[in-house]
Amino acid sequence: MRAVIASAAGGPEVLSLGEVADPVPAPGEVLVEVVATAVNKADTLQRQGHYAPPPGTSEVIGLECSGRIVGLGAGVEGWSVGDEVCALLTGGGYAELVAVPAGQLLPVPAGIDLVTAAALPEVACTVWSNVFMVAGLQPGETLLVHGGAGGIGTFAIQLASALSARVLTTAGSAEKLAVCAELGADVTINYRDDDFVAVVKDVTDGHGADVVLDNMGAAYLDRNLDALATEGRLVIIGMQGGTKGELDIGKLLRKRGAVIATTLRARPPVEKEAICAAVAEHVWPLVAQGAVRPVVHTTLPLAEVAEAHRLMDQSEHVGKIVLTVAD
């Protein structure tokens, strides 16, 4: 089959199409013919040699896809050859075929075309598992989303707003902030010009954010604690601002706060299955209703994967970058 191969660790230019062996579904897995996949920040880190796939999993980049089932491993029930699906992957999405644990399959939400569906699994599972399953965001609480114009940010804004939370978000340009507002953000903050801590305190009358969804890591650690409400929950899902920071435990104790760091890719299949089931139950109906929609910046053929990674590296996009694999 055709798949994206990285000739070495490095820039987008190391990526190209090549031939690799077809995957074979193990017991409990299905074989999916990939129609589309999507680019995630983790993909660029893997390309650079900073984020190796978990042992025993595909070396091919790609954490989500959409497509059609073309084969069933032993013991798979509830799915049939020909079903249109999207899937949360541990790797392998930048290819014509991928083997997926059946529990990580999701039906394509009503009203979403098969190509666009590739933009949903990673963001939906990341946002639901972190903001709602882990941090327990409740109606009426305040969520601060960093990087609101990215794939995760655009989805988090919509989902939290649809579930009656107040949403504050940061982004780096007026254009991106306008999109965030259109998606449902109640307050938008330009992190280049404004102190997000001061804005959060001002617009919440000193209460702070009940939940902070952070993709920056070390660079924002202390300021996120300052922005956090009493009994607030800071959930760190990225390290774009570094991996090592100083944590003021006294400040955390005074706020009775929690700092939580999670990853999705390395979780065992049983945990991913639970997350996917929760997403199908709680999130997919909102997508079908149009209350939450995938935001796609551009769609490119898989052969232009290097260009897709350049766009991701430049951080000028809004929402997701999708790669089409098959018709």
The H-or-E segment that residue 271 falls in is: helix 269-282
> How many CB atoms sit inside 10 A of residue 290's CB?
10
pLDDT at 290 over 80: yes
Nearest to 151, CA basis, from 132, 171, 165: 171
Average pLDDT over residues 83-92: 98
Report the percentage of the chain scoring pLDDT > 70.
100
DSSP bridge partners of 313: none
Of the pLDDT bands very low, low, confident and very high (cuts 50, 70, 90), residue 326 is confident
- pLDDT, residue 191, reads 96
Average pLDDT over residues 50-67: 95
The H-or-E segment that residue 235 falls in is: strand 228-236
- Taking only the tens place, the pLDDT of each residue in 229-250 is 999 999 999 989 888 999 999 9
3-state helix, strand, coil in the chain (%, to 5): 35, 30, 40
Across the chain, mean pLDDT equals 97
- On whether the CB atoms of residues 209 and 229 are closer than 8 A, the answer is yes
pLDDT at 327 over 80: no
> How many CB atoms sit inside 10 A of residue 266's CB?
12
Average pLDDT over residues 311-315: 96
> How many CB atoms sit inside 10 A of residue 134's CB?
16
- On whether the CB atoms of residues 137 and 211 are closer than 8 A, the answer is yes
Least confidently predicted of 6-10, 24-28, 244-248, 252-256: 244-248
- Taking only the tens place, the pLDDT of each residue in 257-279 is 999 999 999 999 999 999 999 99
Our CA angle for 29, 34, 35, nearest 5°, is 145
- pLDDT, residue 111, reads 96
Give the pairing type, strands 15-19 and 2-6: antiparallel
Of the pLDDT bands very low, low, confident and very high (cuts 50, 70, 90), residue 2 is very high
- Taking only the tens place, the pLDDT of each residue in 181-230 is 999 999 999 999 999 999 999 999 999 999 999 999 999 999 999 999 99
Average pLDDT over residues 42-62: 95
- pLDDT, residue 23, reads 97
Nearest to 168, CA basis, from 135, 198, 133, 128: 198
Domains and CATH numbers, the chain: 2-120+271-324 (3.90.180.10), 124-261 (3.40.50.720)
Nearest to 322, CA basis, from 313, 314, 152, 305: 305
How far is residue 169 from each of residues 155, 160, 204, measured CA to CA in Å?
Answer: 12, 12, 13
Tokens of 180: 């965030």
- pLDDT, residue 169, reads 98
Cα–Cα distance for residue pair 153/147, rounded to 1 Å: 6
pLDDT at 95 over 80: yes
